Amino acid sequence: MERLAEVSESEIRIDFALNCKCRATVSLRSLCAASPLAFKVQTSSPCKFLVNPPSGVIAPLSHATFRVILKPQSQLPPTFPRSPSDRFLVKIAQFLPNTSNPIPSHAINSWFSSLPSSVSTQNLKLKVAFVGPLLLRHAVASGDLDAVRNLIKRQRSLLADLSPNEAESLLRVATELVYPDGMVHLLLEAGLRVEEELGSGDVDPRWASKGWDELHVAAAFDRTDDVLRLLKTNPSWPLDSRDHTGSTPLHLAADKGNIRCARLLVEGGANVNARCNDGRTPLQRAAANGDRRMVEMLVEMSADPTVTDDRDRSALNIARDEGHKEMVEIMEQGEEVLTAARHGDVKKLETLLKRGASVQYRDQYGLTALHAAAMKGHKEMVSMLTATGLDLECEDEEGHAPLHMAVESGDQETIQVLVNKGVNVNSVNKKGATPLYMARILGYNAIAEFLVSKGAMSCFPVISR
């Protein structure tokens, strides 16, 4: 079927309220440049809905709208957000009336009933979803996590549009459930914000029941000023205090994406690799949430991506399983390995390798850490890197092997390390130059003699024309 038009959303979302009319606007966009389009809207529930206008004409490549009106309802929808029994069908056809006797728009409804088969048509099926704060509160009070999750997913601004009093009331409803933790966590993670007064030393019973202290509350609600104040006024504050799940304030900040609070806590001395009751670290929580910025900050602050939880999963495992390629690259810390190799920072490299950092990273020129260390003549660094299993014949964009780079450095001991590891002394770059050729061109006679003693053959570069 030819596509003549499209709708902005395939679902009509109605902000539901009791005993009053509820409205939603649908936008139709013409994809047809050759002629106007006629449309006609039908509903499976005419006793519940009105449509205004029920039919009309759209100019070529233009827009038209119609409004769906839900008649006043005295009861909540039996199911929500999705309403399985309510559907809308938008019939669309190329509108080719007789120019000598044009059809007025109010007659389009009957015009559709006598369409010739030669006219191009399209049917658009629209589903109905009921959303809004009334249904959100009802779902929270019912402990229906799936309904709450789906309401928030369909109406992104739902929590943000609540007044402070409404937000406070909704959270109170959640905390009064028999098992409140899942619902409270869902609302806070989705962006519910409530005002929480700190400083008295007493924590609201809602949070005290979870084992939270003032710092937990400040971290959970992204209260940067309160975190600063608590750290400043009480330097001995236990930064790694635990709630009933074993979570520290840093766990909460990382889990909820509160990056400023998380950074303050780590800078203040919080254990960046603390493990909660299920063995997860703040970094693992950030990785599970797909929070790239939080992952980047925690890794920068020395979080270990190889620490495993009680299910033997590390933050790296989680990121790989979820397909978060950028986060995997951040946690592999390849760029840091390359930088350490360039600077000859052996201690830094040792630390990175212990954390499982990757030595496979390449920069924009195709250089690996082994290339960089060889180029600078860092013998000890080269020795460490060759022990990692890195390909000793890896080439950069110009075809240089690490041995080429070691010759360029002029450091014979570095060259000896590579040769003793069994590298090919006759490797050639893309211009045909061997390490021996480079040594002679650079005037490194002792190096040239050493390479010859190890089997290097005279070779001149192949110059392409």
> Using N-to-C axis directions, what is the helix angle for 379-386 and 334-343, rounded to 10°?
150
Q: What does pTM read for this prediction?
A: 0.49
Give me the CATH code for the 134-331 domain, please. 1.25.40.20
Pairing mode of beta strands 11-15, 82-94: unpaired
* Cα 373 → chain centroid: 34
Residue segments in the chain with a per-residue pLDDT below the cut of 50? 99-100, 198, 200, 463-465
- For residue 197, the model assigns a pLDDT of 52
Give me the CATH code for the 5-130 domain, please. 2.60.40.10
Hey, do 134-331 and 365-453 end up sharing a CATH topology, with the first three levels equal?
yes
Q: Where are the domains of the chain?
A: 5-130, 134-331, 365-453
Distance from C-alpha of 248 to C-alpha of 299, rounded to nearest angstrom: 18
- For residue 463, the model assigns a pLDDT of 45
- For residue 464, the model assigns a pLDDT of 44
Residue 67 phi/psi, 5° resolution? -110, 130
Q: pLDDT digits over 332-381, tens only? A: 888 888 999 999 999 989 888 887 787 888 888 999 999 999 999 999 99
User: 12-15 — which CB contacts under 8 Å span 24+ positions?
Assistant: 12/68, 12/88, 12/126, 12/127, 12/128, 12/129, 13/81, 13/129, 13/130, 13/131, 13/154, 13/155, 14/68, 14/70, 14/128, 14/129, 14/130, 14/131, 14/132, 15/131, 15/132, 15/155
Q: pLDDT digits over 180-205, tens only? A: 878 988 888 888 877 655 454 567 77
- For residue 189, the model assigns a pLDDT of 80
What's the CATH architecture for 365-453? Alpha Horseshoe (1.25)
